[in-house]
């Protein structure tokens, strides 16, 4: 068990290194660099080539690619991500607050999704092909069909029209004013969580249906257990494995991928930062963001492995 987990953990290092190399090279393949983006935007105003060259030298862009990479990766190894090529501010500061916000929304959306998906999926499976099942399926299909940013716009409009109220548009960190923070973030979390729950509900339903047909469920019934105990003790734990996968991957995806929904709720999260960093060719910031999201994916995968091991002894004892 421990060996398995340590193995999984150590595997994170080569994976991240691979991501680092790929993103580093990809960025340099894209035409243009930060200096061009900064000085030559618009009408390509009269900045001389000497100024551009001096600026490139200042940012270290004149060095050979391999040297740039070595400098960068050496910093990363010491958790020093350098400074943003665009703003000049330390990258860790640029990211910290936005990451906190995106992480919080992602976590809250995950909680919303899980609280919706598990009960709904289980009920739909139990009442398969009845109106309850159809209602749950319509509800979850609707969640898949509605983009969360659109649902967010509807929410805001609804609040405005019916309550003459709009969620706060300025971000307050949780540790400063938890109430104010929740009042702002609970809406994007609901909008995103609903959509997210749709996939998880359907997965829970089908996984539960599959498990309920298993021989060991028949054994449990033959023992004379009540339905509730069969569900909770015998079925749920088995049915959870694929659901954990769906929830985990979606969570990792949320961390970096909420560009439009963040706009709707005026949230300054990672999504927006990502778009800005790439359009500005801010190499260092983009690299740091990609690494962060990759690390989040890998970490979530690791957490899922731990969860599998907890759920399934056949993995634990391997």
Q: How many residues does the chain have?
A: 318
Distance CA 302, CA 114 (A): 19
SS percent in the chain: helix, strand, coil, step 5: 80, 0, 20
Closest by CA to 235, choosing from 250, 254, 216, 222, is 216
Contact 124, 203 (CB under 8 A): no
133 is an interface residue for other proteins by CB under 8 A: no
Binding segment for other proteins (CB under 8 A), chosen from 13-21, 174-182, 215-223, 279-287, is 215-223
Backbone angles phi and psi of 60, in degrees to 5: 80, 15
Closest by CA to 285, choosing from 40, 16, 88, is 88
Give the nearer residue to other proteins in terms of CB position, either 172 or 238: 238
Among 157, 229, 232, 275, binds other proteins (CB under 8 A): 229
Distance CA 72, CA 39 (A): 24
CB contact set of 135 (below 8 Å; sequence gap of 6+): none
Find the shortest distance in angstroms from Cβ 1 to other proteins. 13
Give the nearer residue to other proteins in terms of CB position, either 133 or 312: 312
Instruction: Show the binding pattern over residues 20-49: x = contacts other proteins (CB under 8 A), - = does not.
Output: ------------------------------
Binding segment for other proteins (CB under 8 A), chosen from 34-42, 155-163, 228-236, 250-258, is 228-236
Binding segment for other proteins (CB under 8 A), chosen from 22-30, 183-191, 193-201, 217-225, is 217-225
Distance of CA 258 to the CA centre of its chain: 8
Distance CA 59, CA 43 (A): 24
Give the nearer residue to other proteins in terms of CB position, either 58 or 233: 233
Window 235-254: residues binding other proteins (CB under 8 A): 237-238
Interface size with other proteins, residues (CB under 8 A): 22
Instruction: Show the binding pattern over residues 174-213: x = contacts other proteins (CB under 8 A), - = does not.
Output: ----------------------------------------
Contact 259, 253 (CB under 8 A): no
Integer CA distances (angstroms), 250 to 240, 300, 304, in order: 15, 10, 12
219 is an interface residue for other proteins by CB under 8 A: yes
Find the shortest distance in angstroms from Cβ 222 to other proteins. 4
Among 166, 221, 232, 279, binds other proteins (CB under 8 A): 221
Find the shortest distance in angstroms from Cβ 236 to other proteins. 10
225 is an interface residue for other proteins by CB under 8 A: yes
Contacts with other proteins, residue ranges (CB under 8 A): 214-216, 218-226, 229, 233-234, 237-238, 311-314, 317
């Amino acid at each position: 068990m421990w060996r398995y987990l340590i193995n999984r953990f150590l595997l994170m290092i080569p994976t991240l290194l691979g991501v680092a190399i790929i993103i580093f090279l990809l960025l340099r393949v894209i035409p243009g660099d930060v200096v061009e983006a900064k000085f030559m935007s618009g009408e390509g105003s009269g900045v001389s080539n000497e100024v551009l060259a001096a600026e490139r030298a200042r940012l270290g862009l004149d060095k050979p690619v391999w040297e740039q990479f070595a400098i960068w990766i050496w910093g990363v190894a010491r958790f020093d991500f350098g400074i943003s090529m665009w703003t000049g501010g330390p990258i860790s500061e640029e990211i910290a607050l936005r990451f906190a916000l995106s992480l919080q929304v992602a976590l809250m959306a995950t909680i919303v999704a899980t609280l919706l998906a598990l009960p709904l999926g289980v009920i739909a499976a139990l009442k398969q092909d009845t109106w309850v099942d159809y209602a749950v399926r319509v509800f979850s299909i609707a969640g898949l069909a509605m983009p969360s940013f659109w649902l967010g716009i509807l929410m805001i409009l609804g609040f405005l029209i019916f309550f003459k109220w709009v969620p706060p548009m300025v971000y307050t960190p949780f540790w400063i004013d938890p109430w104010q923070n929740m009042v702002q973030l609970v809406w994007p979390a609901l909008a995103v969580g609903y959509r997210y729950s749709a996939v998880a509900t359907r997965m829970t339903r089908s996984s539960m249906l599959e498990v309920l047909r298993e021989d060991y469920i028949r054994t449990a019934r033959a023992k004379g257990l009540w339905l509730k105990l069969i569900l909770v003790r015998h079925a749920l734990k088995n049915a959870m494995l694929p659901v954990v996968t769906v929830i985990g991957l979606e969570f990792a995806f949320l961390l970096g991928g909420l560009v439009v929904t963040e706009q709707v709720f005026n949230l300054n999260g990672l999504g927006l930062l990502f778009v800005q960093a790439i359009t500005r060719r801010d190499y260092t910031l983009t690299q740091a963001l990609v690494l962060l999201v990759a690390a989040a994916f890998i970490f979530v995968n690791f957490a899922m492995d731990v969860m599998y091991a907890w759920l399934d002894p056949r993995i634990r004892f391997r």
